[in-house]
Structure 1
Amino acid sequence: RDISPALAHELIYGSIEYAAQFGFQPHRDFKHSKSLLDPPDLHPRSGKVKFGKDGKPFFVAGPHDNVAAIRRQLARSAGEGNYHFLMPLSPPADDQLLVDDTGDGDDIEEGKPLAPHRPRADKKWWQFWK
């Protein structure tokens, strides 16, 4: 879905300002893409975009995040228990998660072979851990 440049700027610069309240700065690579954007004050803000969840910061951990450091920063700046977070589980190796593929509903039954669970190829790994 297409959005207006004004809404894109409100999302980008609003998220930067929101994160700054809690001691976070944009990734160092943002300086490269920042030149593609208009100055922050060029587009008026609608005020309709809300950040966080239920009035609190909401951290969704990514594969390259330092989760412990980010949670410490949130505890210092927002206060312990005053933020939300979601940490996706690592996908299991094929040989670590075995399921009964016979379809009879019995996950483990003596004498039946178990097959490795294979997620559908059209899904991303984090979609399985919501």
Structure 2
Amino acid sequence: MDGCVFCGIVAGEVPAFVVTDEPDGVAFLDTRPVFKGHVLVVPRTHLVTLSDLPDDALPGYFRLVRRIAVAVETGLGSGGTFVAMNNRVSQSVPHLHTHAVPRTKGDGLRGFFWPRTRYADDAEAADFAARVSAALA
């Protein structure tokens, strides 16, 4: 869809730190992560909300989300992950996306307030993307 940054990433027209690019979706680092290593998973097709995802796409998409959540934990050595999705309200990009956020005990994340951070530079972001990608099962 014209003007959708996530469609641009899927098409390879917008630069991103891609973790994986598969038929069921594309996973890449959030540019404003809650914690470093925060990955977004999007379907290849432009859909706005979860209710727009066709029934036949559910298994593949959520299998990818699960694999990414495990890879974030394994690749980054985090204690766990927070997996979340917004539909319309608080959805900063109107393209269906699922967050896989690395978590550690005592990391300070409380409720639904998501403080944001930044990578020091592109090399650091590329390192985080590579570590998650290498852990994909």
Does the alignment reach a TM-score above 0.5?
Answer: no
Ranked by relative contact order (alpha carbons within 8 Å, sequence separation 6 or more), the top structure is 2
**TM, length-normalised to structure 2:** 0.27
Structure holding more strand per residue: 2
Which of 1 and 2 has greater Rg? 1
